[in-house]
């Protein structure tokens, strides 16, 4: 038996540096990066870097040696080598001005196929859906880009078409569940085949080139190259499961950019929004019911009273109500309101939507239609109003979806101060984190009334105290009651100090009992806990200051109103 030498086993043989990998694959650095992105292979961090680097103390980029051996059998490697040969030969033809031979070589450009990689990385359809979050976020971002140095126009056009197809599948399946407006963009979450898929649609701004090259568009473009193939497969499966024809037939080719569209930004954006407001063709001509057949949970008699079954019933009823939230309602969007997220939300929950057809394409009904129930406006006032509809601000649609209910419109009228827009993606059972009073009131509506009553009672008490101080002196029984309250308050302070002292002693005992190898982790946990407590304290202090300022403003307004009434 041969005796193994040093670094021939263990971590020394499990890892390989990037330079060695390039030499083994015979590829350039750019081609190696592209291959690793397409195949989903990333650098690894070893447990013992010195052993993995065979005694070297430098910090190197390491890969698993099995991953590099896996790349040796990849057919794309030969295509990348063909690219290298192709560029060398075309450059030679240009140099000697052999344009006839150059044209022949350009027609025989080597084609890079990624279908087998998608099937290899995602063996089942559910695996592809689980990895859709980053894919959708990146494709929605690239769908807003113009032609850049490393982002060809065909790629951004393909992203635009694939994202519109995906949004149509969401509308047809009514899979949307949560929405939220953020500084980054619009957050959406959909339930596809039982998997939660979350993505971000960025706010639309005209593209402005940056002087600093902080973003590597070349690397991002490689990710987009793979994700377009992946999303094409996903859209194909979704459309066939929904009984829809694929590819869908839009009124105008969304993936093609005309010169008139590129010169006019409104036309460029309005075409993709107009494509969302049409109904797609179905493969089967028979009319199917909109309501899907759902599992009757009451048949589960064995565990009918368990908490899990009750929770499942509540979630099923909530989803059933959410799918028909805007059924029978017609929305008209003013021109100043961003239309793309609202069209997606309203149509996903059974509503109908339109806008001014003289400005944008794709309108289905006019503003003068008497059957319109809501008009979405984002300006201080409107010149002409109709009595048969409600004029609300855009946040109304988002809040209705998150609360799974049609909210009263009086808080969302034109010019009204909007309620807090709360994120539905936070954990409701989180601990040691500041929870705003609006979120507490959302969970328990009785807290709104108690908060308002406490504010009114405080003002009444202030007024009554001021009047009583001016008119009558304090009686003896009242003085005794005040002394008792002060004594109770002092006892409460002493008890809290004693409890805090006991807690600090317990914390010290816990710290002593921690083993030396776990002390670093224990300190990290304690530091995170202290940071959360500090953040909670700062936010609570900020909220109290804001509430105090609002009370002062209300008092000043009341005093001004009294003075105006007295002078009148």
DSSP 346-406: HHHTT-EEE--TTTSS---S-TT-TT--EEE--SS--SS--TTSEEE-THHHHHHHHTTS-
pTM value is 0.79
Q: State how far the Cα of 29 lies from the Cα of 18, in Å rounded to an integer.
A: 9
- pLDDT reported for residue 82: 87
- pLDDT reported for residue 1: 65
Cα angle 282-284-286, degrees, rounded to a multiple of 5: 110
Q: Which of 61, 280, 69, 76 lies closest to 169, judged by CA?
A: 280
| CA distances for 108 relative to 31, 82, 86, 203, 414, angstroms | 20, 11, 9, 41, 62
- pLDDT reported for residue 231: 94
Q: State how far the Cα of 339 lies from the Cα of 276, in Å rounded to an integer.
A: 10
Q: State how far the Cα of 517 lies from the Cα of 527, in Å rounded to an integer.
A: 17
The two tokens of residue 214 are 């902080």
Residue that has been written with the tokens 């807690």 in this structure: 503
- pLDDT reported for residue 53: 86
Dihedral sign, Cα of residue 497, residue 502, residue 508, residue 510: negative
Q: State how far the Cα of 111 lies from the Cα of 82, in Å rounded to an integer.
A: 10
Q: State how far the Cα of 1 lies from the Cα of 374, in Å rounded to an integer.
A: 84
Cα angle 537-543-547, degrees, rounded to a multiple of 5: 145
- pLDDT reported for residue 55: 83
Q: Helix (H) and strand (E) counts for the chain?
A: 21, 9
- pLDDT reported for residue 286: 47
DSSP designation for 518 = G
Domains and CATH numbers, the chain: 11-74 (no CATH), 115-207+215-276 (no CATH), 321-412 (3.40.50.10190), 502-568 (no CATH)
Q: Count CB atoms within 10 A of the CB of residue 366.
A: 13
- Tell me the backbone φ, ψ of residue 174, rounded to 5 degrees: 55, 50
Q: Which of 155, 164, 167, 163 lies closest to 135, judged by CA?
A: 163
pLDDT tens for the chain, 568 residues long, are 677 787 778 888 889 999 999 999 988 899 999 999 999 899 999 888 888 888 888 888 999 999 999 998 888 888 888 888 888 899 998 899 888 888 888 888 888 888 899 999 999 999 999 999 999 999 999 888 877 777 888 888 889 899 999 999 999 999 999 999 999 899 999 999 989 999 999 988 766 666 666 778 888 899 999 999 999 999 999 999 988 888 888 765 454 555 545 445 556 677 778 787 787 777 665 444 444 445 455 555 455 557 778 888 888 888 888 888 888 899 999 988 888 899 999 999 988 999 888 888 888 888 888 899 999 998 888 888 888 889 999 999 999 999 888 988 888 998 888 888 888 888 777 776 777 777 777 776 665 555 555 555 555 555 554 444 444 455 566 666 666 777 666 677 777 788 888 888 887 887 888 888 888 888 888 888 888 888 888 988 898 898 899 889 988 888 888 888 888 7
């Amino acid at each position: 038996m041969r005796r193994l030498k040093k670094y021939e086993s263990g971590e020394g043989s499990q890892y390989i540096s990037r330079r060695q990998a390039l030499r083994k694959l015979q590829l350039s650095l750019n081609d190696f990066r592209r291959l690793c992105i397409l195949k989903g292979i990333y650098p690894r961090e070893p447990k013992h870097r010195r052993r993995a680097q065979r005694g070297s103390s430098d910090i190197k980029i390491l890969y698993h040696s099995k991953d590099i051996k896996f790349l040796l059998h990849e057919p794309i490697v030969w295509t990348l080598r063909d690219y290298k040969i192709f560029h060398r030969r075309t450059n030679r033809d240009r140099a000697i001005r052999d344009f006839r031979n150059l044209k022949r070589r350009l027609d025989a450009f080597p084609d890079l196929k990624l279908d087998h990689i998608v099937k290899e990385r995602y063996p089942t359809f559910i695996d592809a859906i689980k990895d859709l979050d980053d894919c959708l976020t990146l494709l929605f971002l690239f769908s807003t880009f113009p032609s850049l140095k490393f982002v060809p126009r065909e790629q951004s056009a393909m992203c635009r078409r694939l994202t519109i197809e995906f949004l149509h599948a969401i509308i047809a399946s009514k899979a949307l569940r949560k929405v939220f407006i953020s500084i980054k963009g619009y957050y959406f979450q959909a339930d596809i085949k039982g998997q939660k898929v979350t993505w971000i649609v960025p706010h639309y701004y005209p593209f402005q080139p940056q002087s600093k090259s902080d973003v590597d568009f070349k690397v991002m473009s490689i990710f987009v190259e793979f994700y377009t193939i992946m999303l094409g497969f996903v859209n194909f499966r979704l459309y066939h499961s929904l009984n829809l024809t694929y590819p869908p037939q839009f009124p105008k080719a969304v993936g093609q950019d005309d010169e008139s569209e590129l010169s006019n930004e409104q036309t460029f954006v309005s075409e993709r929004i107009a494509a969302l407001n049409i109904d797609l063709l179905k493969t089967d001509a028979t009319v199917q019911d909109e309501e899907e057949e759902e599992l009757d949970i009451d048949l589960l008699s064995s565990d009918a009273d368990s908490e899990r079954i009750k929770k499942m019933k509540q979630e099923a009823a909530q989803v059933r109500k959410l799918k028909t939230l805007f059924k029978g309602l017609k929305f008209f969007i003013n021109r100043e309101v961003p239309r793309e997220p609202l069209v997606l939300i309203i149509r996903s929950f059974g509503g109908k939507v339109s806008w001014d057809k003289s400005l944008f394409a794709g309108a289905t009904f006019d503003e003068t239609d008497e059957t319109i129930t809501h008009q979405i406006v984002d300006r201080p006032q409107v010149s002409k109003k109709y009595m048969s509809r409600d004029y609300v601000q855009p946040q109304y649609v988002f809040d209705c979806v998150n609360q799974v209910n049609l909210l009263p419109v009086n808080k969302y009228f034109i010019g009204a101060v909007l309620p807090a827009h709360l994120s539905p993606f936070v954990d409701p059972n989180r601990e040691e984190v500041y929870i705003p009073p609006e979120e507490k009131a959302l969970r328990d509506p009785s807290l709104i009334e108690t908060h308002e009553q406490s504010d009114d009672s405080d003002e009444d008490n202030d007024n009554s105290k001021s009047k009583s101080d001016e008119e009558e002196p304090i009686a003896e029984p009242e003085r005794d009651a005040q002394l008792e309250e002060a004594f109770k308050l002092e006892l409460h302070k002493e008890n809290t100090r004693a409890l805090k002292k006991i807690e600090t002693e317990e914390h010290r005992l816990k710290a002593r009992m921690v083993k030396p190898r776990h002390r670093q982790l224990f300190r990290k946990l304690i530091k995170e806990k202290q940071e959360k407590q500090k953040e909670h304290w700062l936010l609570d202090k900020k909220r109290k200051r804001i509430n105090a300022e609002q009370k002062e403003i209300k008092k000043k307004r009341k005093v001004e109103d009294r003075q105006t009434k007295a002078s009148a």
